[in-house]
Amino acid sequence: MRIYAVAVYLFLYIPIGIIVLFSFNAGRHASDFRGFSVQWYGKVLSNPFAMEALTTSLLVAAFTAVFASVFGTMAALALQSVRGRARAIYDAAIYVAIMVPGIVIGIATLIALVTLFGHLNDALALLWPGPPDTAPRLNLGYGSLIAAHTLFTMALVIVIVRARIAGMDRSLIEASADLYATPFGTFRQVTLPQIFPAVLAGFLLSFTFSFDDFIIAFFVAGSETTLPVYVFSSIRRGVTPEINAIGTMVLGVSLTLLVIAQYLLRQRRDTDTGAPS
């Protein structure tokens, strides 16, 4: 079993290691290593198309993380008062949202948005005081990207925050109510400090999933280009060390955020159990 486990890990991580290694290639071909160099990182950072795609990905991921954290936390708190069959239905809907393949979410979101925008654009054309062809039109772009990613990542935040709420000390909330604190005051001074590490972990995971997403963005991005979509388009013309450099930087950012999120969750668990962190 140990040999099998080692073989599986090698199969998973050797290709990633090769990408990282060849991102420092001094040659011009991805498969021909000719010494160490960081020239391709400089070319990526000076590439206006790559930087524009990076900016788009960062903006979308930032807004997605904020919305998913806020709405996911609100949903997790609200679900604590739901019981019985309704609770089971909500739980199933949350886990289904996580397990559904990205391509299904992308296609479904695309069809829903195109249909909705079609009806709304017709209504705007009728209500517009000027000529119908001058009426504003709703199209796929930043808004559709952020909405699709928020709906997808919000389920992750709900699961993480609910797990934290389940292990929360309820006596502090009851004591706050006994001391005549308002519901918002109790949330701000008692509940939020206890669940904040989970909310922050959900924020970081939402940012990572949104930043790395290709499938959903490919369907709903419209005229916008995220970094994964740019990489896919570039690979179709051939793999270069520049693509390896982009992949390495994305890998570094993603791993850093995941490690921070895991550290925050572990610190909170250790604090709750009294174990040394």
pLDDT of residue 71: 92
104 vs 269, which has greater pLDDT?
104
pLDDT for residue 151 is more than 70: yes
* Residues near 182 by beta carbon (within 8 Å), at least 6 away in sequence: none
Instruction: Give the pLDDT score at 237.
Output: 74
Q: Is the pLDDT of residue 275 over 60?
A: no
Q: Which domains does the chain have, with CATH numbers?
A: 17-25+38-101+141-273 (1.10.3720.10)
Q: What is the pLDDT of residues 209-232, one digit of tens each?
A: 888 888 899 898 888 888 888 888
Q: What is the pLDDT averaged over residues 203-213?
A: 87
User: What average pLDDT is seen over the chain?
Assistant: 82
User: How confident is the model over 68-85, as pLDDT tens digits?
Assistant: 999 999 888 888 777 778
253 or 63, greater pLDDT: 63
Q: What single string gives the DSSP state of each residue in 231-272?
A: HHHHHTT---HHHHHHHHHHHHHHHHHHHHHHHHHHHHHHHH
pLDDT in the model for residue 65: 93
| Cα distance between residue 255 and residue 249, in whole Å | 10
